[in-house]
Every structure is written in structure tokens, then in C-alpha cells.
Amino acid sequence: ITALNVFWSFLKVGSILYGSGYVLFAYLDAELVMSGWLTRPELIDAIAVGQFTPGPVLSTATFIGYQLAGWEGAIAASVGIFLPSFLFVWILNPLIPKMRKSKTLGFFLDSVNVAAVAVMVAVLFVMGQDTLTDWRALVIALLGVFFTFGPKKLNAMWIVAGGALLGYLLKLV
């Protein structure tokens, strides 16, 4: 796999990516796992690393790019994933306020948000099938949901760190 291959793959993903690192999973799964460049567990690990660090999309892209093609791949993935966003912002920024005033285009923008949520739900099921493999993982997942949506919401970084620590401790049992 060359850095140019990595760049083109991440450029494609970056041109349709809408949302967070969680949405990124679905696109990278289709682009990298289905092509045989990564296994799904490797992708899940990369997404986890990305969620644990600032800038999850950049961290995930850089991490995967490095895995695939070393430092050149890391740079290629990082540039590829963000280049479309920079171009879209540059071109669309003056148009968005006008688009919001149009009922049809406003509905289109709202629909994009709904579609992104649907992709995140689909990612939840795919990742769940591959990661909830025993009772320990289920306990960590349920606690993660509680601390994400419960009365005292925690930052995702603390949930991931706590899950890692709890996973280590439960493995000793």
C-alpha cells in the first residue's frame, strides 16, 4: 500500500464524511476493511485511539495512515481526510446563510443531520457485534452508556479511559 493509495482513500472518505469519529467508522470500514487493508478489530482499535486523544478524526486518520504506509501514509491520510473539508468550507461558507433561508435547502441540511445520526446508530450495531464478546465487555458498555447519558454526564475521554482501566481490572478476575 503506497502513501498515494492512502491519500486517495482518505480523500474519498473526507469528501463524504459528515459528523464525528463515530461516523468515520462506517466509511473507513467500507473503504479499508472491505478492501482488506485492515481487519475490523484493527479499525476498532484505531477508532478507540482516536476517541482517547484530542481531534479524533485527525488522530484516527493519522494512526491508520501510519499503520498502512509509515510516516508518509500518516501525512497522506491526514491531508486526504481534511482537504475536502477545507475546500467545502471555502466554497460553501458564503452560501450557507442563503441556503438556510430556503425551505427546501434548509430541509436538505436538516436531512443530512438525520442521515448522520442513522449512520452512527448503524456503526453502534456493527461495533457492538465485534466488541461485545463476553460479560466483561457488556458491563463496560453498560457503564459507558450510563455515564454518557446518566444524571452526571462524563466527557468521552474519561469514559474511554475508565473503560480501559475497568477492562484491565476485570481481565484479572
**More confident position, 168 or 123:** 168
CA distance 109 to 102: 10
For the segment 142-162, the average pLDDT, to the nearest whole number, is 89
Predicted TM-score (pTM) of this structure: 0.71
Confirm if 112 and 99 have CB atoms less than 8 A apart.
no
Q: Which helix (H) or strand (E) holds 21?
A: helix 21-28
Pull the grid cell for residue 37. Answer: 487493508
Asked if residue 86 has pLDDT above 70, the reply is yes
pLDDT at 19: 66
Confirm if 49 and 59 have CB atoms less than 8 A apart.
yes
Confirm if 38 and 147 have CB atoms less than 8 A apart.
no
Q: Any residues with CB less than 8 A from the CB of 84 and at least 6 apart, and which?
A: 11, 14, 15, 17
pLDDT at 131: 84
CA distance 122 to 124: 5
91-148 pLDDT per residue, tens: 988 888 888 788 888 888 888 878 878 877 887 888 888 888 899 999 999 999 999 9
Asked if residue 25 has pLDDT above 90, the reply is no
